[in-house]
Structures are given as C-alpha cells and as structure tokens.
Chain A
Amino acid sequence: MVELKIGQEVEMEFGGRAKVVKVLGSGGQGIVYLVEFNSQKWALKWYDIDKIKRPKEFRQNIKNNIQDGAPSNKFLWPKYLTKENDQGTFGYIMELKPESFDSFVDILNTYKLVIDPLTGRATKQAVRFTSLYAMVTAVINIVNAFRQLHRVGKSYQDLNDGGFFINVNTGAVLVCDCDNIAPDGSNFGIGGKPGYMAPEVVRGIAKPDVQTDKYSLAVVLFKLLFRGDPMEGEKVVKDVCLTESSELRHYGQDAVFVYDPDNATNRPVRGIHDNVIKFWRIYPKYIREAFITSFTQGIADPNKRIIENEWQKLFIRLRSEIIMCVCGRTNFTSMFAKVDEKTFRCPKCGAEFSTLGFSNRDNRMPLYVGCRFYKCEIDPDCDDFLTVAGELVENKLKPGVLGIKNCTEDTWQAKLPDGKYYPIQPGKGFPIWKDLEVDFGKVTAKI
C-alpha cells in the first residue's frame, strides 16, 4: 500500500497537482484524502493497488464513467483521474460531501463519534431523522438513485451501508463510492459486503449485476426502516459464533427471511432484534409484503425481486399515509384506528382525520395541517416526488378555516359549497368541506 503523506502532491491526468491536506477515511480498496486542486477542496480516493484485481480495466472503467457523467445529482461521481505513479497506483477526485449529510452507518448506529482535534477524545453525537417525512423521503431518494443508475445500464455492484450519505432533516441522499459502478454484466473483482450481497453472490455462483443490486437494495431499505438484518434471527443466533461456514449457510445456501410466512425457524429474537420486532408491526401490509416477496421468492429467483419503480410507488404511497396528530403522535395510517372507510382516529388522543380520495389510486390521503401531496401524485406522467403540489394550511385571514393551497403553476378546478366549480389559480387555495371535489387536470380527488 502506497500511502500519501500530508503535503504530498499528486499529478492529475490532465495536468495540475492535487495537494494532500488530510486523511478523511479508509475503505477496503484504499484511502480517501482531503486534497486541494485548482484552489478548491476535493476528496481524493487513492487506491491500494494490490487490492484491485485488474487495475488497467478498473482504471478504464472509471475513465468511462467520468466521460458518461453521473446519472443524476444524487451521486458523488468520479470527476478526474490522477496519473499513475511508479508503482501503478492511482486515484480519482470527487466533490466533497456537504457538512449537512451524515453517513448511513451513523444513522444505523444512531450516533456519530465527534473527535476533539486537540485531545483526540471522542464524544457521541446523536444522528436521527428529524421527521417521518424525511425518513420516507430518504427511502424514495435511495430507490430513485438506483432506478436512475439501472436505467443507464449500469450496476453499482457493492451496495452497502457505507455507500450513502443522507440529510436527516430533508431526506436528501448522496450515493458515494461510485468507482465500482460498471456496465451491467461487467465486474472488476468486487464481491460486495456480506449481509448485503445477494445469496447467489455469497455462494460464488454469480457476480454482482443489476439483479444482485436489487437484492442489496432491499437489504439497505430493510435496514433503514426496520433497523436490523433481514436474515439474522433465531436460526443464526443459535450458532453463537459467526464462522465463515455459518455465514455461507445463513446468507447463502440456507438464507431464511426473519418473517418468512412459511418458515418460522428464523424469527427475530427479543432482546437482540427488538427494533425489527417493533417496527415490523408498524408498517402497512403492502410494505411488509414487498419485503416478504424480495426475501422469500426473491432469494432463489432474482426476477421476483422488487424493481425500483415498484419500490418508488410503494414508498410514495407510504409517505402520503403519514399522519402527524395534534397530540404529537406521528405514524402511518395503518397505526390509526379506522372510524369508517374515510376517517381515521388517533388511538392516543381521539382526534379524527378526514381523508381525500384520488382518482388514480385506492389509498386515501389523511388530511391535517401541514400534510402535502407531490407533483407525481396528481400527474401520472410526472416522476417528480420532491416538488410539493398542494399543502393543507389554515386560512391566514379566516383563522380556523382549513384549505388546500395550490403550490403548482397550473390552475385547478374545485367544487365549493355552493355546488359550483371555481378555478383555483397558482398560489390560491380552496376550503375543505364535506362534498369537496377537485380537478387537478389529469387526476381528480374528492373527500
């Protein structure tokens, strides 16, 4: 391993030098440094070339990726390669992760270690999503990033908890470690991180590709929502010591999902897997079923794995089923009592929530101050799940009167209490009432 020293300069492929400022972190394939190049700060990934199986092809692949550009702004994509040094070692630079993003590893740990630069002492600082909206939005962003990547015909190969940074306030996602991304079907020697690898990769009978990415994505989503390992239950814990052969068994040859409805041998163990036990009952049936399919039929048959587009739809629905109750309780509609087909009640404080039904889907959206729907929810041809289309607000001039504000650039039509339809211009709104009907253009909705 040729480590770089602080202050050392590395020649860039197309001229110029990047000067090493400090170490940012290290991984299985090399070390990441903070560098200065063209008077800007960048991250330099510098390879331990002995760990790269086919360095020439590996370098060429990164070169191709740089030329192709990132699939979207959700990727911390390689920007420029360095020259190769005498030992054949090289690296690439990429943009730095913004301060406001935390690593997925820290989110799973629920804290990060902050090191005092003077004493070297480490203190713990909490890392948690600040709202349920942000968490579900992060899930949608992760799914969407891989949808974008797979759409350009590439696979990530090494999908694991070290590969993401997430803003816990907004749910924005940055995918990092993009250097193993390769055209589907090519592999430059990376196997992946155990626990995230598809069973056929663990068993040695397949190399990472788009299909194995789908399995790893399901593991990432499961870990983010249920905060545990989908394959680690009673059967695995009984082994006490996780040796190489027990891993081959539990994650490869005989992987059993902890909530496999037809195989109860590997259920989560109270005292160890409390998160999974607690959260599994909270999520609605359609979310649980998607994971069951991924981790039962999807183990042996990669074609049964949930595709990104499907995940995206499921989680956009989940986000629309969040209720933030006045009593402070925030949860999905599945955890509220149903008064009738159109009304939910908070089991804690008794508050009731009317719902809005949309013409393009069966699930109804609960109404409360602050609830929102997004562009993709009122336009079937639109993929924009981040731009708010409408939000439920209190009328500023008539306190106590609640209505929906048009946050789009289009004019809607809404039926008001006199039974007539009125145009609702951008920036305007309409009150909620018992026979409300609204036409968004391609989709209609009513109470």
Chain B
Amino acid sequence: MNNNNNDIKENTTVDDLLDFDDDDPLGATAVSKKSLVIFFLIDTSGSMKGKKMGQLNTVMEELIPEIRRVGEADTDVKVAVLTFDTDVRWMYSAPISIEEFEWARLGAQGVTSMGAAFTELAARMSRNSFLNSPSLSFAPVMFLMTDGYPSDDYKSGLKALQGNSWYKFGLKAALGIGDEANDDMLAEFTGSKETVVHAYTGGQLASMIKIIAVTASQIGSKSMTLSDETNEELNEEDVYAAKQRMLGQQIQELVGDQTDGSDVPYDTGW
C-alpha cells in the first residue's frame, strides 16, 4: 500500500460528518458523459421534392430509435439538423438529446445553398454555440445528404469550415442521391472518397442513410479502438484521424454488400 499519501485522512473530519444531507453512498447521479453531436446537413432544394424527400423523412424517423442506444453510459448523443435550400435553417434552435429528439418532417423547394450551409455550420460548431457542453466532447459527426450541385459558392463556405478545428477532428460522411450529385465535390467536404457513397434507388437511399448514420455515430460516440496486430508503441501520427479512416473502411465494407444491381436509375424500380 501507498504510505506517502498525505491527503488521505485516517478519520473523517467533523465538517464531512456534518454534511450528512449529502453523504448517501447510494445517492449517485448519472455518470458524467461525454457528448457527441451528430449534424445532419440535408438538401431540401426543389429537386428533392416528392419521393426522395418522402423517403428521407421516413428513414430519418426510423433512424432516431436505432441510434438511441449507441451512446450507452459513456456518451450523450445529440442531434442537430441543418437544412439548406434557398435559405439555411436549423430544425431546432439547438442540438437535442437523441432520447428526446423527434423528427419534424421536411418539405422541399428552392435552390441549393450548400455554401451558405457550410458557413452556418462553421459558425455554430463552437464552444460558444452548439458545442457548449461543459464536460468533454467527442469530435462531432457531420453527415451531408444532397441530390444536386451547389447553386452558390460552396468553396468559400467550405473554406470557413476547414478553418474550424471541430470540423478538422470530426467524422465526415456524405451521401449523393441520384445522378446529379457530384461525388468529387462531396469528397471535398468529407476529405476522402471512402466516406462518400451514392444512392440511385429508393431502397439504396434508405439503407445508405442508416449505414452511414449508425456507423458514424457508433464510431463517433466511442473512444478509439485498437486494430493493429503489431506490438509497437502507438504514437500520435498512428492515431491521427484514425476514426475517420475506420469510418471510411467500414462504410465501404457495408456498402459493398448493398450495391448489387446498383446501375438502376433513381426513379426506376419503385
């Protein structure tokens, strides 16, 4: 046993004993959790109108209960939804705990102001705004879904985002819907091709959204896990962006299982 610890008291002091209103060993509050915010960036421009939007709404409603248990005792998972068409709008004014989150069905109209959405996200991903949890946070998950090409200057918005360190350490994934969405442009957002997937059919849209959202929140809400078989000491470079790489790898594995008959255009095969 350790003998040189002076701040361990043999006997409890009188002050401690007097505080008997708050000394119940069973009177615990929940363990302090790390927080994780999942940002959904959703294209609600006119081209999404109809089946795409209807299906997206349904998938998102189903998805919420599925990611509810992801955080377990360690992580408080919150969700924030940013929609962009002609305007940029948050579904709720602040991130909401997954346990209380209810999906508000979205409509679609207008043009694709993706750059403005990036700028807005960059402004909100801050200690003084949406990421204001007093305890520790995991880097956020950012999931972009779009069926078209930005109609504004997305580059300047992306630049603002790239200057944000939450973005830098966060997990980024994107889903292109239909023929118009540009995977190269989406890879600029995620930082790698592996974390960009494409849905051409309604069935794919549903499964891709679930794969990406569940996988990203699972990886995002947990600490890093080891996967190397060597016995060498890990250093900072080994682990840098390890989660983003893991996300890319897992998305590709899972998507690989799903893409049979993927050449069918979005609007056929319903």
Indicate if A50 sits at the interface (CB-CB under 8 A).
yes
B2 touches A331 (CB 8 A): no
Question: Across the interface, which residues of B come within 8 angstroms of A191, CB to CB?
Answer: 225-227
Interface range on chain B: under 10, 10 to 19, 20 to 34, or 35 or more? 35 or more
Is the CB–CB distance between B139 and A241 below 8 Å?
A: yes
In the complex the two chains form, is A237's CB within 8 Å of B232's CB? no
Q: What are the residues of chain A within 8 A of B29 when measuring CB–CB? A: 110, 227, 274-275
Q: Report chain A residues within 8 Å CB of B65.
A: 115, 120, 122
Would you list which residues of chain B between 2 and 41 have a CB under 8 Å from chain A?
2, 4-12, 16-18, 20, 22-32, 34
Interface residue B74 (Cβ < 8 Å from any Cβ of A): yes
- Chain B 246-260, CB-CB to A under 8 Å as 1, else 0, gives 000000011001000
The number of chain A residues with a CB under 8 A from chain B is 88
Residues of A within 8 A of B1 (CB): 289-290, 293
Complex Cα gap A337–B2 (Å): 25
CB distance from A255 to the nearest CB of B (A): 13
Binds A, one of B82-90, B151-159, B234-242: B234-242
CA separation between A233 and B29, bound complex, in Å?
Answer: 17
- Residues A331 and B23 in contact, CB atoms below 8 Å apart: yes
A78 to B172, CA, bound (A): 38
Q: Which of A228, A239, A240 contacts B31 (CB 8 A)?
A: A228
Residue A282 lies at the interface, judged by CB distance under 8 Å to chain B = yes
Q: How far is the CB of B168 from chain A (nearest CB, A)?
A: 9
* Given known A201-B226, A223-B31, contact A335–B136 (CB-CB < 8 A): no
Complex interface: chain A residues within 8 A of B236 (CB): 245, 248
Q: How far is the CA of A399 from the CA of B161 in the complex (A)?
A: 77
* A252 CB-CB contact with B under 8 Å: yes
Q: Is A178 positioned at the interface, with any CB of B under 8 Å from its CB?
A: no
Partner of B240 from the list A129, A189, A237, A244 (CB cut-off 8 Å) is A244
Which B residues are in CB contact (< 8 Å) with A135? 25-26
Does A241 lie within 8 Å of B138, measured CB to CB?
yes
Q: Do residues A242 and B136 form an inter-chain contact, with CB atoms below 8 A?
A: yes
Contact residue among B17, B134, B240 (Cβ-Cβ distance under 8 Å from A245): B240
Assembly CA distance A417 to B177 (angstroms): 89
Other-chain residue from A104, A109, A272, A297 in contact with B2 (beta carbon distance below 8 A): A297
Partner of B135, one of A108, A223, A272: A272
Please indicate which of the listed interface residues B134, B233, B240 has the most CB atoms of chain A within 10 Å of its own CB: B233
Contact B26 A132 (CB under 8 A): yes
For residue A148, CB closer than 8 A to chain B, the reply is no
- Provided the pairs A203-B234, A244-B243 are in contact, do residues A113 and B226 lie with their beta carbons within 8 angstroms? no
> Is B268 interfacial (CB-CB < 8 Å)?
no
Q: A419 at interface (Cβ–Cβ under 8 A)?
A: no
User: Does any Cβ of A come within 8 Å of B224's Cβ?
Assistant: yes
- What's the Cα separation between A31 and B43 when bound, in Å? 33
Q: A39 an interface residue at 8 Å Cβ cutoff? A: no
Q: Does any Cβ of A come within 8 Å of B182's Cβ?
A: no
CB closest residue in chain A, given B138: A242
Instruction: Tell me, yes or no, whether B165 is within 8 Å of chain A by CB.
Output: yes
Chain A residues whose CB sits within 8 angstroms of the CB of B138 once the complex forms: 241-242
**Contact of B2 with A240 in the complex, beta carbons under 8 Å:** no
A240-B137 contact in complex given A191-B226, A227-B28, C-beta closer than 8 Å: yes
Partner of B169, one of A53, A131, A243, A338: A243
B73 within 8 A of A: yes
A204:B226 contact, CB within 8 angstroms: yes
> Distance (Å) between the CB of B131 and the closest chain A CB?
8
A131 CA to B27 CA in the complex, in Å? 11
CB within 8 A of B99: which of A113, A232, A248, A261? A113
B222 within 8 A of A: yes
Q: Is B103 in the interface zone, CB < 8 Å from A? A: no
CB distance B72 to A105 under 8 Å? yes
- Contact A289–B166 (Cβ < 8 Å): no
Min CB distance A49 to B, Å, is 11
The answer to whether A204 and B231 touch across the interface, beta carbons within 8 angstroms, is yes
Which residue of B is nearest A104, CB measured? B73
B231-A293 in contact (CB<8A): no
- Decide yes or no whether A236 CB sits under 8 A from chain B: yes
Is the pair B25, A332 in contact by a Cβ cutoff of 8 Å?
A: yes
A282 to B225 alpha-carbon distance, docked (Å) = 34
Write out the residue numbers on chain A whose beta carbons fall within 8 Å of the beta carbon of B240.
244-245
A sample of 20 more A-B contacts (CB under 8 A), given A129-B26, A204-B238, is A108-B30, A108-B31, A108-B73, A122-B99, A132-B26, A193-B225, A203-B234, A204-B232, A204-B233, A205-B231, A227-B30, A248-B235, A278-B23, A285-B8, A285-B10, A293-B2, A330-B25, A330-B26, A331-B25, A336-B17
Residue ranges of A at the interface with B (Cβ–Cβ < 8 Å): 1, 25, 28, 50, 53, 104-106, 108-111, 113, 115, 120, 122, 124, 128-129, 131-132, 135, 161-162, 189, 191-195, 197, 201-207, 223, 225, 227-229, 232, 236-237, 239-245, 247-248, 251-252, 261-262, 271-275, 278-279, 281-283, 285, 288-290, 292-293, 296-297, 329-332, 334-338, 347-348
Q: List 24 A-B contacts (CB under 8 A).
A: A50-B253, A104-B73, A109-B31, A110-B29, A115-B65, A132-B26, A192-B226, A193-B225, A194-B224, A204-B226, A204-B232, A204-B233, A206-B231, A228-B31, A241-B166, A241-B169, A242-B136, A243-B169, A244-B241, A272-B134, A289-B8, A330-B24, A336-B17, A347-B18
Minimum-distance CB pairs A-B, first 8: A194-B223, A261-B5, A191-B226, A204-B234, A244-B239, A108-B73, A347-B17, A105-B73
